Amino acid sequence: MELSPSVSIERTESGLEYIWVDSAFCQAKIFLQGAQLTEFTPAGKGNLIWVSEAEDYLEGKPVRGGIPICWPWFGVHSKADWPIHGVARKLLWRAHSVEEKSDEITVKLTLPMTLVEAQYWPHTSQLEVEFVLSDKLEVRLTNINTGDAPFTLTQALHTYFPTPEVSNTTVDGLQGAKYIEFDEGPFEQTEVVGFARETDMVYTQASPVQTINTPAGIIEVKRENSTSCVLWNPWIEKSQRLSNFNDDEYHKMLCLEACNVMDDAVQLAPGESHTLSTIIHWL
C-alpha cells in the first residue's frame, strides 16, 4: 500500500500495527487486526469513538471499543463453540490503498480469505472495508459473491460511542421500529430511548437515521443498506463480567450498531455484492 502525506503505519507497545491518519480535517486510527477503527476525531471537535481504558491491544484479541466488524454472523452462533460475532474482528486484514484528497482520505482494507477457516465460511467471496475520513466518518463494508452458489450472512459495524454520562443520554429516531430484547418481543419502540438498566435491543424496520443526545453534544448516526440496528449498554452486573472493561465504564459509553440481522440478513447470488454503511458525525 502506498501511503499519503497524512497517513503512516504505526505500532502499539504490544506490537499491533495500525494506520494513523493525521490530517487538517481529522485524526483517525485503524488497526490491521480486525480492520478496527478505534479513533475518529474531527478537527476542533471531540473523538466520536469510545475505547475502554482497560484495553491492552493484544494479538488475536478483539479491542474493547472502536468499531469491531462482526462477520459472517452477528452474536452467538447456533453452534455454541463457534466464536461470538464471527471471525473477522480477530484476523489480520491487508492494507489495500489510501487515497487522499483536499477534503477527505479514503483507507481501504481487504480480508485475505485464506485466513478464514472453511468450517466457518465455506463460500467463495471477497470482503473489504473502506473508511472515508473527512469532518464525518463513513465506514463501508462490502461483500462480493465470487463463487457459483448463493450464500447468506449476518453482520454488524459494532460502533462504540462516548458519552460523559449514559444516564443523561438518549437515542432518538428509533420510534416505530420493532425490537427484541433478551429473546423477548417483538415490541414496538414508541419513545426516545434512555438508559437506566442493561440494554440489548435488536431493532428491525428501523429508520436510517438516529441521533445520540449526550451532555457533550449530539451525534448523528446514519445507515445505508440496513434496516436493522442494535442498541447496547452492559450496565452494572454485565460490566463486571466483560473482559478489558472497567466496572464503572458503562457510564461512559453505548453502542449503536449498523446491522444486517434477522429478516435483514444479506443474501447474495453469484456475482452480486452488498455494501453496509454507517455515517457518523457531530451535529
φ and ψ of 26, to 5 deg: -170, 165
pLDDT in tens, 176-231: 999 999 989 999 999 999 999 999 999 999 999 999 999 999 999 999 999 999 99
Q: How far apart, in whole angstroms, are the C-alpha atoms of residue 267 and residue 236?
A: 37
**Which of the pair, 164 or 80, is modelled with greater confidence?**
164
Q: Is the pLDDT of residue 4 over 80?
A: no
pTM over 0.85: yes
- Give the chain's domains with CATH numbers: 7-164+235-282 (2.70.98.10)
Query: Of 39, 251, 257, 281, which is the active-site residue?
Result: 257
Three-state DSSP state, 135: coil
Give residue 80's pLDDT: 84
Identify residue 223 by its one-letter amino acid code: R
Question: Is 212 in contact with 171 (CB distance < 8 Å)?
Answer: yes
Which of 39, 55, 85, 158 is the catalytic position?
A: 158
pLDDT at 78: 84
Q: What is the pLDDT of residues 218-273, one digit of tens each?
A: 999 999 999 999 999 999 999 999 989 999 999 999 999 999 999 999 999 999 99
**Is residue 282 within 8 Å of residue 163, measured between CB atoms?**
no
Mean confidence (pLDDT) of the chain: 96
Q: Cell 453469484 appears where?
A: 270
Residues 6+ apart with CB under 8 A from 202: 179, 180, 181, 228, 230, 259, 261, 262
Q: How far apart are the first and last CA of the chain?
A: 34
The residues, any chain, with a CB within 8 Å of residue 60's CB and separated by 6 or more, are 33, 90
User: In the annotation, is 198 catalytic?
Assistant: no
Band (pLDDT 50/70/90 cuts) for residue 275 is: very high
